[in-house]
Structure formats: C-alpha cells, structure tokens
Amino acid sequence: WQAHEIRWSHPRLAPRRFPVPAWDGGPLLSRRLFLASEQGFGDTIQFLRYVPETIRRGTRVVLDVPAPLVGLARTIEGIERLIASGQPVPQVDLTLPLMSLPLRLGPDAPPPPPPYLAADPDRRARWRERLAGDPRPKVGIAWAGNPGMRNDRRRSLDEAALEPLLGIDSVSFVSLQKERAPPSAWLDAAPDLADFADTAALICELDLVIAVDTAVAHLAGALAKPVWVLLSPAADWRWPRGPRTPWYPSARQLWRDPEGDWGTAIAKIARRLSATPLDREADFR
C-alpha cells in the first residue's frame, strides 16, 4: 500500500489540507478521525470496507463522502458523524484520505469481505413490489460510465453493442444507466434512482447485475450480489487479468478484445443469459 501513495504525485490529484495532523497509524482510542473521500464514486465504495475496522480500533470516525453516497454510507454502523463533501468539517484530532486507510491500518487488517454495505429495507420493499409482476430473473445493466472521465471511451459501450441482448426473453432487463435511454423493452429504473442508496436497494432485489467499470460494479460487489463486469485491457489494478477479482468474490470478469471490440464479451453474456436455468456463478473463459 505504500506504493499507492504515489497517486499524490499526479498533477490532477492533491490531498485536501486540514489544520490537524494526518494519522500516522498510531493508537486511535477515543480520538476523532476525519476520513476524506477522494476520486470517484467507485473508489469511495471500494474503500469504505476499511471504515468498520477503523471504528473497531476505538476511534470516533467523521466520514466525508460525496452527497449521492451519504444514504449508502449510513448503513455502516458506528460512524459518529457523516457529512457530504463540501460541508463544514467539525472539530477533529486527525485526518486521512480514505484511500490511505489500508496503509495506516497495516498488514494485520486484510480487506474485509463483502457485504460491507447494505440497503434500506423500506426502499428494497418498494422495488420488490414494483418488480413482482414478472417471474423471469431480473438482470440490471449499466453499460456506460461518466463521459467526463478521461478514460471513459475505453470502458463504456455504445448502444449498438447491446444489440445481441435485445432478443433475449428468458430474463427481464432493468436499466441502471443514467443519462442514456435504454431499449424500449427494458425497464428504465434510472429516473427513480435519486442516490446510491436507491441503487443499492434495487440491486438487492435483482438476480444479477451486468456493468462496465463504474460505481455500479463496485456497489454490486460491495453488496455481495452477483455481477458480471465488462473490462477493457486498460483496466487498473483492482481488476486483475482473469475471470475473478479478490476485491469482490461475487464478481465475474469479461474482457474486451485488445483491438477494441466488445462483441466477443457480449456474445458470451448473450449465450449465458439465454440458457436456463441462469448460471450466475461460472467463470467466463
């Protein structure tokens, strides 16, 4: 994890400055630690797994997350105060960027396995009722990331790539995709997803999620829900080459051709979805 600190040498990244010391890994008992989120939604979701261990060591955690993640982060027990990024920071004793937690917790704190997040029962019940009319397996899908991200063109699919899935009627597709219209036969859930707590509630009522490398993939993995992740060869360290990642045991990975064609990966998904019963667990080869 020491090597991960090299991220601060990137000109687009800089740690937030606070008038208190950074935590150096020393005793935390009863001290108030401000954990500052950084980078994207998916990065924050991935590293929230380390917050419970920090609380277990006796610290009083003040957690900062982007506003769309506040409702989701409330499912972590023991946080003293939760604030949305940009809100005033209360008085604290120490501070640390969230993604530096594993370094400071040390080698005796291996990554806790999912699920380390949960969904609100009332929100789940509303989605359960809405989806109850169709007996087929429910498959959520998110095929594109934030177009403002520098490498988005490498990870996102265009709608034409989804064509092999359109004729599959053995499952019921639910679009989790923001800002893009899904095929007319798919349920468009996006207008009813106000934040990631809503998305978590819906994912918990689905049988499977299919996603590119976005926050949706991280969220499904953090909830320990079956998720098939479509990945570019340029994917970063959290998605090791091969069919699985140790970060999310419920995830199965599919890889785009080096030439940039998603066709082979989508064909594999189409064949798997067309088979009955639906096999969510087998590796893709």
Contact 252, 283 (CB under 8 A): yes
pLDDT-based confidence at 13, cuts 50/70/90? Answer: low
CATH code of 44's domain: 3.40.50
Length of the chain: 285
Question: Given pLDDT bands bounded at 50, 70 and 90, which one contains residue 56?
Answer: very high
In the chain, % of residues over pLDDT 70? 94
What CA–CA distance (Å, rounded) separates 127 from 188?
13
89 and 135 assigned to the same domain: no
Mean confidence (pLDDT) of the chain: 92
pLDDT tens-place string over residues 29-53: 889 999 999 988 999 999 999 999 9
Asked if 164 and 233 sit in the same domain, the reply is yes
Domain count, the chain: 2
Radius of gyration of the CA atoms of the chain, in A: 20
| pLDDT value of residue 17 | 74
Are 145 and 201 contained in the same domain?
yes
Give the pLDDT confidence of 74-124 residue by residue, as tens digits: 999 999 999 999 899 999 999 999 999 999 998 777 778 899 999 999 999
Structural domain for 248, as ranges = 121-274
Per-residue pLDDT, 246 = 94
- Statement: residue 129 has pLDDT above 90: yes
Region of residue 115 (phi > 0: left; psi between -120 and 50: alpha; otherwise: beta): beta
pLDDT of residue 147: 67
Q: What is the pTM of this model?
A: 0.93
Stretch 146-160: mean pLDDT: 76
5-19, 50-64, 201-215, 228-242: segment of lowest average pLDDT: 5-19
280 lies in a domain? no
164, part of any domain: yes
CATH number of the structural domain spanning residue 151: 3.40.50.2000
Phi, psi of 95, rounded to the nearest 5 degrees: -140, 160
Q: Map residue 177 onto helix, strand or coil.
A: coil
